[in-house]
Amino acid sequence: MASLFPKVFAFQGSVHEQPIVEIDSDLGYSGWMEPPSPDGLPHLEVIERPSAFDDWAGLLALLQESFAFMEGRIDPPSSLHSFDAAKLAAKAGEEELVLAFLDGRLVGCLFAAERDGALYLGKIAVRPELQGLGIARRMFALAEAYARARGLKTLELQARIELTENHRTFTALGFEKVGVGSHAGFTRPTDVNFRKTLAP
């Protein structure tokens, strides 16, 4: 199956200050890749999942590590508790999966799926020790390029109502709060809905 991601173009990153080169979707995947660094600084790739990727246990471990801070703070608990490696692989077969690698190590991910004319983003994760370096911003930019290629005009996501630090992060990435929602069995809001309208 041909990649649905477009060719996407470079922008300046924050893991280190080298230009980023385009990866052509004709090669079977697309995204941003920083060129090899002559001074030994980290090498970052943010790409659509390569067809050969099969480290579902590693992806699950990344998500579990990144979501651990939610334990005891959110109610109900994260749906990640219901996932195993096989369920993640099945989810990736139904949705788009963006992966971030730093020096070849899996350090970030997000899932993306078209819903009601928007691109919905979920299971967004960056390893805790690498948060704040711009990795999530790059993953979001690749998802945005995908949405534009499909003619979608908005990105949407949800954040648990208790996780106000996540609300600030999504706001900094250009999202606006557009409402709240509740999980089944709850009479109070449990989620905040965010939306980013893409400029023409």
CATH of the domain at 59: 3.40.630.30
Residue 118 belongs to some domain of the structure: yes
Contacts of 24-31 spanning 24+ positions with Cβ under 8 A: 28/3, 29/3, 29/5, 30/3, 30/5, 30/6, 30/142, 31/5, 31/98, 31/142
Mean pLDDT of 30-57: 73
pLDDT tens digits along 171-190: 999 999 999 999 999 999 99
Count of structural domains, the chain: 1
Instruction: Judge whether 15 lies within some domain.
Output: no
Model pLDDT for residues 143-164, shown as the tens digit of each residue: 999 999 999 999 999 999 999 9
In angstroms, the CA 198 to CA 155 distance is 8
- Predicted model pTM: 0.82
The mean per-residue pLDDT over the stretch 65-78 comes to 97
pLDDT of residue 200: 80
Range of the structural domain that residue 120 is part of: 21-152
